[in-house]
Each structure stands twice: as structure tokens, then as C-alpha cells.
Chains A and B, each alone.
Chain A
Amino acid sequence: MPLSAALETERRIVREISAIVVAIGGVAFGLVLVLVRGILAPIRGLLSGISSIGVGDYDVRVPVLSRDELGELAESFNAMSAQLARTTVSKEYVEGVLENMRDLLLVTDSAGRVKTANHAAAEALGGAVVGRPLAELLSSDDGFAAPKAARDAEVALLAKDGGRIPALLSSAPLRDREGRPQGWIVVAKDITERKRDEEALVRAKLAAEASSRELEAFSYSVAHDLRAPLRAVDGFSQILLDGYSDKLDDHGKDYLRRVRAGSRRMGQLIDDLLNLSRITRSVLKLEDVDLSAIVEELAGELKRSDPKRSVEFAVEPGVVVRGDPNLLRVALVNLMSNAWKYTGKKPSARIEFGRRPGPGTTLYVRDDGAGFDMAFANKLFHPFSRLHSASEFEGTGIGLAIVQRVVGRHRGNIRGEGVPGRGATFEFTLWEENA
């Protein structure tokens, strides 16, 4: 073969090879493009989606770019993240809750150094909490020098302004998946307000006890010390009347009698006062009390006390209430003897006792006696205040005050209704819900 022909063949071969190389290169380039578009991009999308989920963002979705295995992968990734978002509490959500809760939250490492503090903790303890040992932030009787599990332990948090905040502290260890201790989670509840209320309550209780002790001492000394001089007044005026009457004219004797009447009345008032204070002081003993039986008994006693009087008693049977039998009896004695007394000027009278129908316990004592003027009804229950003069009806004015206290101790209310010359009704409730 001539050289020129051979050279020509060689050039052709080179050209063909070059063409092939270029073609191969083109194909290769195309292949790379396809690869990058079809495989790498979706994978990159998946990767960034996975890392979003890693930091707690479950709202991430990756684009579905193809209808092949990769496309399927992207679709199932999206389904998974949607599922995760539905079933998992997101990090933001948790952070939001922890940050905004009113209780203090601290997370420490296993040595007890604060790693995280929520807003409430930073606020109360001062901003620079992170890094400080828990033991520096609080003082307590049982010491939290080393963190330990606790439930509602009473501690004082050491506030940034130097103050101490009373708190209930609970803490529990944080462990990793293998159960190795990671640190502590500490929650503290500020109980300043509760403490303040408790202290106020204790103070009020002490004050109440002190005043009831004072009352006790007062009534005791009334009982003992005021009676003695009265006895002297009454006794010696009686002795004068008995042994020296020949030396006294009628005026003198009349004055002495007034002295005696005065001292006896004062004795009565002292006894009344004592009885009144006893009602308030005595301890309630609750039982089922048959009020009808008590009233029947009192009616019998009243009739026997003055058999000449014609008084009809109408007592509803079977009225049984929960209460203190002694106190309720005292109340009924006073109401019934009032009814008896204030019907005393009528030739015949009727006294009723009963229970009003309806919910709750409402009881009444009614008479058709002298009645009273409603204009003064607000004074009925004041100790020693009376609506009738001693010349009309005797009395000291303590009875209804006692009744009101008895009713009050049974969480009830009493009111009286009267019409002059027509009679009076006293109606009282027991155990009122909102009394």
C-alpha cells in the first residue's frame, strides 16, 4: 500500500475514533446529567428533609420528582414525616410549653450544674443561671448539695435580689436510652402566695384563740368577781330589812327593797351574759334531735307552771333535725317561754310549733299574743334590748340573742314577725348552704 494511502487510512481512523470519543463523551455527559437530575437531586432533598426531622421539624416535605423507586422513596418519606408530625410533639411545642410555664424548670448535668433554665427560672433566680450548681440556687433543710430525687420538698430559692422564695421542689433523674444518668430535671413551684395565705390564716387563728381566751377570762371574772359584791349588797340589805325594820320608816324600807331588787336584777343580767357567752364557747355535738319531743315537754312544763292559764299547744310531731341537743333545747326554751309570756295577758291563747314544707330546714314558733311593732324588729336579737317595758312584761332581753346565736352556730338564720295585739312568729332555718 502506498504511503499516502496508508496515511489517508490512518487519518480516517483517527477521525472515526475521535468521532466515537466525542460521541462517547456526549453520551457520558448526558448520562451524568440524567444521574444528577434524576438521582442526586431527590437524594439531596431527602437528606435535607431527614436533617430537618432530626432537629424536630416535622412539617418538612420533599418534592416528588419522578415516578421511579426514588419517587416512591420521597413519597414514603413525606408520609412518614406527616405521620411523625401527627403523633410526635414537636420540639418547638415542648420548648413553648417549658418556656411559658409558670413553674421554674431547670435541667442539670449529672453533677448538678444547670444546663437549661426556662423563663420563669431565669426570671426568679437571675439571668445567669446556666452553668451554676443547683446547690447555689436554693437552700433547704434536707440540702440539695448533690441533686437527688424529691417530690414537693419545701425549699427556699435564692433570688437574684437576695430574697428567698419559698418553693415546692420536685426533681427526677434524666437517663439516656441505656439508662445511664444524664442529669436532673428540676421543677420548682413558687409558693410565696400560698405561704402568705397560710401565715395570715395562722395569725387569724391565733388572734381568734387569743380573743376567745380573753372572752373566757372575762366571763369567768364576771362570774366570780362581780357576783361577790352583789351578794354583799343583797345580803346586807336583807339583813337590814330583817333585823332593823323597827328603826326604819316605810320610806327607808322601800329604798332598801329597791336596792335588793336592783342587785338581784344585776345578778340575773350577769347570769344571762354568762349563758350567752357559753352558747358561743361551747363545742357543737351533732346528733339527730327530736324537736317535737322537746317542744311537747316544754309545753307540759309551761302548763304546769301556771295551770290556771288556758293555752292550746299545736305541735307538729316528728320534727327531727341534725344539731346540738343542748343548744337547740336552749333555743326552744327561749322561744317557747317568750310565746308563753307574751300571750300571758290573753284569756286564752294558741302556741304552734312546726316545720315549713319545702327544701331546707325552716322551723317556726307562732303565738297569738301581744305581738310587737315591726318598726323595731331589727332590735329583737340584740342582747338586752326589749320591745316591751318591764311593767308590761318582765324580762332582761337576752333570750332572743341566745336563740340567734344557737341558730347561727347551726348555720341558720332567724327572723321575727309581729303584729301588735295579734301575735308573733319566729321562723328560723338550720344548715343553710351559703350561710
Chain B
Amino acid sequence: MTERKVILLVEDNPDDEKLILMALQKGNITNEIVVARDGQEALEKLLGAPGKPPITPTVVLLDLHLPKIDGLEVLKKLRGSDKTKHLPVVMLTSSDEEGDRVRSYDLGANSYVCKPVDFGAFAGAVNQLGLYWLLLNRPAP
């Protein structure tokens, strides 16, 4: 049942991308993971672009600092569109600055997770996130 659910990972750092994919794999989460490498690509995937229909992931893992359009800006645009205003968005970022957290929640983030340096902790966090949003969370209709 979780097979058809898609995760959109918005991450510009290829190392982090690889580590997240490996962590999910290690946790036996085999859902399709679509990756967007900057904010603009993320918005095109979620809101659609000429010739490309939008995708509807179960959850978006969104980095804060992204090229072109940064994470907070992406979040703001998503919340401004009827299609994506209820879409679960998890901020997944290196920063645990209070300011970033406050701004993220102000703009309607569902969750804020700081990427730990320690890979064990990081893998654990990514796994729990995946399981929670794919299995436990009941999305808005």
C-alpha cells in the first residue's frame, strides 16, 4: 500500500541526497523518491509546468537553502496554491537556528527536522520521518 506513495526530496547537496536515499533504503522504505535540486524545479514538479503535469507526493522533504528559489519561498508558494496548501512539508535542514524554525512554522511547515552530523542519528531521523508520513499520517482529503 505504501508502494505507490511518492516522496519528493528537494535537496541541492548531492552528498545529502545520497545519504538520505541510502538511509531510506536501509529502513526498507522502497517508495519512489523524486528529487528536485533547486527551488524552481521543486515548484515546477509540484505545481506543474508547460508540458509537465504536476506530481502529488505524500510528503515533501524540503531543504531550507536552495539555489534559485530558497526553501522558505517554495513553502510560501505551496501554501498559496489551492492544490498544495495541505501538502505535508517537512523542513529538513542543517540549521537549527531559532529564526529559521520560526519562519518555517509561520509559513505553514508541518514539521522541522535538523539533519544531525552523526550518520546513525541522521539515518534514524530520516527513517522515522519516512515511516511517519508514509504510514501513520492521514492526509487532508
Q: Indicate the size class of the contact surface on chain B.
A: 20 to 34
A118-B6 Cα distance, complex, nearest whole Å: 88
The stretch among B77-85, B114-122, B128-136 that forms the contact with chain A is: B114-122
A74-B118 Cα distance, complex, nearest whole Å: 109
Contact between A228 and B95, CB atoms less than 8 A apart: no
Contact between B16 and A231, CB atoms less than 8 A apart: yes
Contact between A235 and B95, CB atoms less than 8 A apart: no
Contact residues in A for B19 (Cβ distance below 8 Å): 231-232, 235-236
Picked from B115, B119, B123, the residue with its CB within 8 Å of the CB of A227 is B115
Contact between A231 and B115, CB atoms less than 8 A apart: yes
- Nearest Cβ on chain A to B77's Cβ, whole angstroms: 22
- The answer to whether A224 and B118 touch (CB under 8 A), given A229-B15, A232-B19, A239-B22, is no
Contact between B16 and A234, CB atoms less than 8 A apart: no
Contact with A along B8-23 (1 / 0, CB 8 A): 0000010110010010
| B91-111 interface (Cβ within 8 A of A) | 93-97
- Nearest Cβ on chain B to A299's Cβ, whole angstroms: 28
Which A residue's beta carbon lies closest to that of B15? A232
- Nearest Cβ on chain A to B118's Cβ, whole angstroms: 6
Picked from A224, A234, A236, A266, the residue with its CB within 8 Å of the CB of B94 is A224
Contact between B22 and A228, CB atoms less than 8 A apart: no
A220-B94 Cα distance, complex, nearest whole Å: 10
- Nearest Cβ on chain B to A38's Cβ, whole angstroms: 102
A237-B15 Cα distance, complex, nearest whole Å: 12
A228-B15 Cα distance, complex, nearest whole Å: 8
Say whether B65 faces chain A, with CB atoms less than 8 Å apart: yes
Contact between A230 and B117, CB atoms less than 8 A apart: yes
Say whether A253 faces chain B, with CB atoms less than 8 Å apart: no
Say whether A264 faces chain B, with CB atoms less than 8 Å apart: yes
Contact residues in A for B119 (Cβ distance below 8 Å): 231, 234-235, 237-239, 260
- Nearest Cβ on chain B to A220's Cβ, whole angstroms: 6
Contact between B15 and A231, CB atoms less than 8 A apart: yes
Contact with B along A188-232 (1 / 0, CB 8 A): 000000000000000000000000000000001001110111111
Taking A224-B95, A231-B119, A232-B16 as known contacts, 16 extra A-B pairs with beta carbons closer than 8 A to each other, sorted by chain A number, are A224-B64, A228-B13, A228-B15, A228-B16, A228-B94, A229-B15, A231-B15, A232-B19, A234-B119, A235-B15, A235-B22, A236-B15, A236-B19, A237-B119, A238-B120, A260-B119
B contact residues vs A (CB 8 Å cutoff): 13, 15-16, 19, 22, 64-65, 93-97, 115-120, 122-123
What would 27 A/B residue contacts be, using CB atoms closer than 8 Å?
A: A223-B96, A224-B65, A225-B94, A228-B15, A228-B16, A228-B94, A228-B115, A231-B16, A231-B94, A231-B115, A231-B119, A232-B15, A232-B16, A232-B19, A234-B117, A234-B118, A234-B119, A235-B15, A235-B19, A235-B22, A235-B119, A235-B123, A238-B119, A238-B120, A239-B119, A267-B116, A267-B117
A-B pairs, 8 with minimum CB distance: A267-B117, A232-B15, A235-B119, A238-B119, A235-B19, A227-B94, A224-B94, A224-B95
